[in-house]
Chain A
Amino acid sequence: MKIIEVKNLNKKFKIKEKEKGIKGSIKSIFKPEYKTINAVDDISFSVEEGEILAFIGPNGAGKSTTIKMLTGILYPTSGDMMVNGINPSKERKKLAYTIGTVFGQKEQLWTHLTPYDNFKFFGAIYDIPNKEIETRIEELKTTFELDEFINTPVRNLSLGQRIRCEIVASLIHKPKILFLDEPTIGLDPVVKENIRKLIKQMNKELGTTIFLTSHDIGDIEKLCKRVIIINKGKILMDDTMNNLKYHYLNKKIIEVKLKEKVDLQDEEGISILKAKGNNLKVEIDITKKDMADVIKLLDVDKIIDINISNIPLEDIITSIYKDAKALSI
């Protein structure tokens, strides 16, 4: 079942432009000039129930804007959306009962209250009976290991602790879809790993659909089976993680340490990335050049150490961001 459906969604922002200096300021009062930004430019996609989707793209691509529209925070300029069978711009209150949102850069908790009181508050907002809230908090407290600070006012928590609480608060009402906008921003590797595990677990056990944006490749690689890449408001790619990697799997990186210098040149299927002393880093396109041939070229007898690896996902994504044409491989 499709739980999110988006058709030809658009969001335009009108921004007041101001020329430099006092003259510009005065001019903008009497004759304001506007510039229009297509933050989200005619995108269409759908998400299956139970999916974990990475919605990624460079800064300013339109990710947050899309999430804000899907969660009823912003009105779209045009287009259709259905989230869990509800139109977010028409029935946002009704929608709110079925979705959870976490914005890594935005506090949703009351900072002067303790996490515990916040959870009680969120429970009350979602009309959950008191007893049920208690058990729910107890459950989540154990899973998210909040014991240490559940009674400390939120403003005194560290970022990682706060984010964990933000996620718990967004889960109090057992939402069917969880929207996560950069949930791991600024977290240390251990906490990141923890949060990923929890997200994965939730998806598995409760079948929660996860809509995730992140600049952290680890989040995407470890969590998501499907990726949508967006840039300048347009969708560049909508594919499975495996396909994305597969396109690039026929490119390998060889790093070798040699006894003495070998003269290797760029040629069809081989490109030298780095050559320094007796060390070499080469990218091979195995559709064009067999690995055996390359190793022969290097001269097997001279190899001290060799490491053959796939192109890291990070590089793949960077190259997609940089060059939309890279997709037409």
Chain B
Amino acid sequence: MRKYLYIYKATLIENLSYIANILLGFINFFIMIFVFVNLWQYIYSDSSQIINGYTMEQMIWYVLTTEVLWYGSKNKVLLQEISNDIKTGNIAYNINKPYNYVFYILSKHLGEITIKLILYIIVGILIGLCFIGPIQNFNFINVPFILLTLILGVLINSILRIIISTISFWIEDSTPFHWVYDKMILILGTLFPIEMFPDFLKPIIKCTPIFVVTYGPAKLLIDFSMQNFTQIIIAQLIYLVVSILIVAFLFSKGVKKLNVNGG
């Protein structure tokens, strides 16, 4: 465990020097939020209206939360580094060290995004408080539960990304698959809650990663209930276990296929 903590710590400290870059990345985020606040304000012709059980404030907080998660946890380690390591055979040099490559990459990724995510959360809360006002019925007692699902959501998202990247063992380029996953989460998972989908789609969406990665934490933030929490956390644990099993399986298969460059 200590080795992974060390990787995490080292990456985190290194990233402290890139805070300026992170701040630059906020521009995209602000534009996105601006568009959606306006869009929802337009759709909710009058602010006391309720659509599919959501008030306008809840709806905007929902989008804000999912966008924070989305922008705050995006990182090149999972998108490029794994594929590159596989394509160049670099991964073999990691595999013959006494650590697990998946945990290694995960620690590195988490180290990369921690500061970014925290900054995004702070900025997200500030934007929310300034432009929409506090969430109704928000209870601070729920914060630990919400945080737990949030962390699990980020973790599951990371592992799913790793799974997608392992495709590089078999097909040169995993970018198109990341693209599909990106668009799925971005369009179906961040813009509006699951309740907005037609009834026949809802059960399907609930089985997709959207439910555990973005919807779960955001829903709990704007409308906490113990029942929701249990449902989400169980789904997350199932996702976590299954995705770890899949990643372990794919890696053990892929490594045998590995071709290390000459030299």
Q: Chain B: how many interface residues by the 8 Å CB criterion?
A: 20
Contact of A71 among B6, B96, B99 (CB under 8 A): B96
Is there an interface contact between B95 and A73, defined as CB atoms closer than 8 Å? yes
Is the CB of A93 closer than 8 A to any CB of chain B? yes
Is the CB of A34 closer than 8 A to any CB of chain B? no
Contact of A103 among B3, B98, B256, B263 (CB under 8 A): B263
Which residues of chain A are within 8 angstroms of B260 by Cβ–Cβ distance? Answer: 68, 73-74
Contact of A126 among B92, B98, B256, B258 (CB under 8 A): B98
Chain A residues in the interface with B (C-beta under 8 A)? 13, 60, 64-65, 68, 71-75, 92-97, 101, 103, 105-106, 108, 110, 112-113, 117, 120-121, 124-127, 181
Which residues of chain A are within 8 angstroms of B10 by Cβ–Cβ distance? Answer: 110, 113, 117, 121
Which residues of chain B are within 8 angstroms of A95 by Cβ–Cβ distance? Answer: 96
Contact of B2 among A75, A92, A112, A127 (CB under 8 A): A127
Is there an interface contact between B96 and A96, defined as CB atoms closer than 8 Å? yes
Task: Give B238-263 as 1s and 0s: 1 = Cβ < 8 Å from A's Cβ atoms.
Answer: 00000000000000000010111011
Chain A nearest CB, measured from B77 CB (Å):
13
Which residues of chain B are within 8 angstroms of A124 by Cβ–Cβ distance? Answer: 2-3, 5-6
Is there an interface contact between B93 and A125, defined as CB atoms closer than 8 Å? no
Chain A nearest CB, measured from B101 CB (Å):
11
Q: Which residue of B is nearest A113, CB measured?
A: B10
Contact of A127 among B3, B93, B96, B258 (CB under 8 A): B3
Chain A nearest CB, measured from B72 CB (Å):
22
Q: Which 9 A-B pairs have CB atoms at the shortest separation, nearest pair first?
A: A124-B6, A73-B92, A96-B98, A124-B3, A72-B96, A125-B3, A93-B98, A105-B263, A92-B96
Contact of B14 among A73, A75, A112 (CB under 8 A): A112
Is there an interface contact between B2 and A74, defined as CB atoms closer than 8 Å? no
Is there an interface contact between B93 and A74, defined as CB atoms closer than 8 Å? no
Chain B residues in the interface with A (C-beta under 8 A)? 2-3, 5-7, 10, 14, 92-93, 95-99, 256, 258-260, 262-263
A117→B92 CA distance, assembly (Å): 22
A92→B92 CA distance, assembly (Å): 11
A124→B2 CA distance, assembly (Å): 6
A161→B223 CA distance, assembly (Å): 58
Q: Which residue of A is nearest B255, CB measured?
A: A75
Which residues of chain A are within 8 angstroms of B6 by Cβ–Cβ distance? Answer: 120-121, 124
Is there an interface contact between B259 and A13, defined as CB atoms closer than 8 Å? yes
Chain A nearest CB, measured from B39 CB (Å):
41
Chain B nearest CB, measured from A131 CB (Å):
13
Which residues of chain B are within 8 angstroms of A94 by Cβ–Cβ distance? Answer: 98
Which residues of chain A are within 8 angstroms of B14 by Cβ–Cβ distance? Answer: 112-113
Contact of B92 among A68, A105, A125 (CB under 8 A): A68
A112→B7 CA distance, assembly (Å): 13
Which residues of chain B are within 8 angstroms of A74 by Cβ–Cβ distance? Answer: 92, 258, 260
11 A-B contact pairs sorted by A residue (CB < 8 Å):
A64-B263, A72-B95, A72-B96, A73-B92, A73-B93, A74-B258, A74-B260, A75-B258, A94-B98, A126-B98, A127-B2
Say whether, besides A124-B2, A124-B6, A127-B2, A64 and B262 are in contact (CB < 8 Å): yes
Q: Which residue of A is nearest B91, CB measured?
A: A73
Q: Which residue of B is nearest A110, CB measured?
A: B10
Is there an interface contact between A106 and B96, defined as CB atoms closer than 8 Å? no
Which residues of chain A are within 8 angstroms of B2 by Cβ–Cβ distance? Answer: 124, 127
Which residues of chain A are within 8 angstroms of B259 by Cβ–Cβ distance? Answer: 13
Chain A nearest CB, measured from B84 CB (Å):
14
A12→B151 CA distance, assembly (Å): 45
A112→B6 CA distance, assembly (Å): 15
Is there an interface contact between B96 and A101, defined as CB atoms closer than 8 Å? yes
Chain B nearest CB, measured from A56 CB (Å):
16
A74→B6 CA distance, assembly (Å): 27
Contact of A106 among B3, B7, B97, B263 (CB under 8 A): B263
